[in-house]
């Protein structure tokens, strides 16, 4: 299916959804005669329609651009998403390559007080049994053995498959076997430039 047809279908689905939301809101949620139990039923329907809006909005690529609102926020002309607001969910295609986010790198020359303040991203995904963790942070202050040190800004990617952990940063690659039967004193392999 080409992108023009996908966009047209998405617009039609969103327009139908907005009409349904307006119908429920105008005819049932504004009524003062309605009992509390019945009001709660229509309120739940409206919430479910809102969730459907969120998932349809994840499919939107915002190709028609944004329009400015009175409060100076910009919203997508197709799905109504406010520009710059993070999504609560991520939508992945069933087939083909999957992409989550953009490549993040440390970007500040400032040294932050805590790792939490310096954190750009620290996220993990269990992908068909392989754990992938991406930890990107700017420089921050820490204390080791009572001495204050600065931890360098870095990007670390860890991949764990069964009992093998591979850590990759900007300068080194470490491969570690997490085998219970491994005797202490055996050689570790890592630090490959």
- What is the reported pLDDT for 160? 95
Q: How many residues does the chain have?
A: 193
100: in domain: no
182: in domain: yes
Where does a domain end: 51, 76, 101?
76
Three-class SS of residue 141? strand
Reference 138, options 159, 155, 125; nearest CA is 155
- What is the reported pLDDT for 99? 82
In angstroms, the CA 82 to CA 10 distance is 17
Give yes or no: residues 66 and 127 share one domain.
no
- What is the reported pLDDT for 191? 62
pTM of the model: 0.61
Both structure tokens of 63: 């190709």
Domain that holds residue 57: 3-76
Three-class SS of residue 130? strand
Give yes or no: residues 171 and 120 share one domain.
yes
Reference 113, options 136, 134, 137; nearest CA is 137
- Give how many domains the chain has, as a whole number: 2
- What is the reported pLDDT for 165? 92
26: in domain: yes
Alpha-helical regions (H) of 59-191: 115-118
86: in domain: no
In angstroms, the CA 46 to CA 51 distance is 9
178: in domain: yes
Give yes or no: residues 69 and 119 share one domain.
no
Give yes or no: residues 55 and 123 share one domain.
no
18: in domain: yes
- What is the reported pLDDT for 55? 87
Give pLDDT < 70 ranges for the chain.
1, 180-193
Residues 6+ apart with CB under 8 A from 130: 159, 160, 161
In angstroms, the CA 25 to CA 47 distance is 11
């Amino acid at each position: 299916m080409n992108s023009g047809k996908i966009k047209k279908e998405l617009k039609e689905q969103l327009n139908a959804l907005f009409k349904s939301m307006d119908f429920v809101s105008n005819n049932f949620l504004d009524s003062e005669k309605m009992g509390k139990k019945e009001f709660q039923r229509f309120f739940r329907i409206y919430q479910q329609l809102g969730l459907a809006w969120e998932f349809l909005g994840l499919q939107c690529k915002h190709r028609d651009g944004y329009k400015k609102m009175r409060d100076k926020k910009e919203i997508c002309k197709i799905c109504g998403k406010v520009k710059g607001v993070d999504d609560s969910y991520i939508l992945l295609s069933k087939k083909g390559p999957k992409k989550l986010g953009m490549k993040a790198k440390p970007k500040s020359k400032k040294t932050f007080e805590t790792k939490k303040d310096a954190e750009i991203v620290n996220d993990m995904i269990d992908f068909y049994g392989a754990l992938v963790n991406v930890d990107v942070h700017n420089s921050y202050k820490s204390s080791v053995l009572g001495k204050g040190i600065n931890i360098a800004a870095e990007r670390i990617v860890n991949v764990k498959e069964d009992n093998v952990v591979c850590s990759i940063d900007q300068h080194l690659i470490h491969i570690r076997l997490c085998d219970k039967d491994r005797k202490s004193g055996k050689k570790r392999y890592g630090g490959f430039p």
